[in-house]
Amino acid sequence: MTPFLIVDGIAAAMPAANIDTDVIMPKVFLKGIDRRGLAAGLFHDLRFDADGRPRPDFILNRPGYAAARFLLVGPNFGCGSSREHAVWGLRQFGIRALIGTSFAGIFTDNAANNGLLLLSLDPDRLAPLMAAAEAAPLPLEVDLGDRCIRHAGGALRFDIDEDARAALMSGLDRIGTSLAKADRIRAFERDYLAERPWLADA
């Protein structure tokens, strides 16, 4: 996992509420057995028409937005299906952070497991950025160490869970970290199954 320290790039605006993971990564891209090739599927039905031609109105097809590294998004982004393919696709497309007001639960966990930074701002703090990014490609710098978004008009501080921040900055192997606690898990399991023998054979 690529550590996230300071990232700069263009931000694009997708202000609609409830953008779900079916829209982020449609079903026809879910039939692999590896994580590859998902940049092509990202927002597929919004990006391309039925004949596979880019829709010129879609934000990421407009001039200056194709290399976006940030998306400014509406409430409850990532709702619906648990498919981690949505997050893999965003990362493979080059997106490093989503800046919104709220994110769905499973999507939040999937993002954390793949080094995709999710930032939640109050709606009135997000609105000026959203308006600017809807008008023109908006250059931003996101500094995770400093907890700060910098743009031409100034800087915005943000709050983030300390553990999430540390994990993003170091790119930790979460399974390895948990397996280092194997003795604790084993001891828990022994007591738990002794109390609930009906679960001992699983």
Partner 1 sequence: MTSGRTLYDKIIDRHKVMSLNGLDGPGETLLLYIDRTVLNEYTSPQAFSGLREAGRALWRPAAALGVIDHVNSTAPVRDNDSADRDAARQMQYFLENGRDFGIEIYDVLHPLQGIEHVVLPDIGWVMPGLVIAAGDSHTTTYGAFGSVGFGIGTSDIEHLLATQCVIYHRLKTMRATIDGSLAPGVTAKDVIMALIRQIGASGASGHALEFAGDAIMAMGVEERMTICNMAVECGARVALVRPDAKVLRYMAGRPRSIAPHHLEQAERVWADLNSDADARFDTEVRLHASDVAPMVTWGTSPDQAATIDGRVPDPARLPEAEARATRQAIDYMGLVPDMALDEIRIDRAFIGSCTNARLSDLRDAARILEGRKVADGVRAIVSPGSSTVRREAEAEGLDRIFTSAGFEWRQSGCSMCLAMNDDVLAPGQRCASSTNRNFEGRQGSGGRTHLMSPAMVAAAAVRGRLADVRDFSAIGARA
Which residues would be at the binding site for partner 1 (CB under 8 A)? 16-18, 20, 22-23, 26-28, 30-35, 45, 50, 75-76, 79-84, 87, 102, 104-106, 109-110, 113-114, 162-163, 174-175, 178-179, 181-182, 184-185, 188-189, 192, 195-199, 201-202
H-assigned helices in 27-75: 44-47
Of 164, 151, 142, 20, the residue nearest 69 (C-alpha) = 142
Shortest distance, CB of residue 59 to partner 1, whole angstroms? 14
Shortest distance, CB of residue 51 to partner 1, whole angstroms? 12
Closer to partner 1 at the Cβ: 19 or 97? 19
Closer to partner 1 at the Cβ: 61 or 76? 76
3-state secondary structure of 164: helix
Q: What are residue 123's phi and psi, to 5 degrees? A: -55, -40
For the chain, how many residues are written? Answer: 202
Closer to partner 1 at the Cβ: 15 or 94? 15
Q: Measure Cα distances from 26 to 20, 43, 146 in Å.
A: 10, 7, 36
Closer to partner 1 at the Cβ: 63 or 161? 161
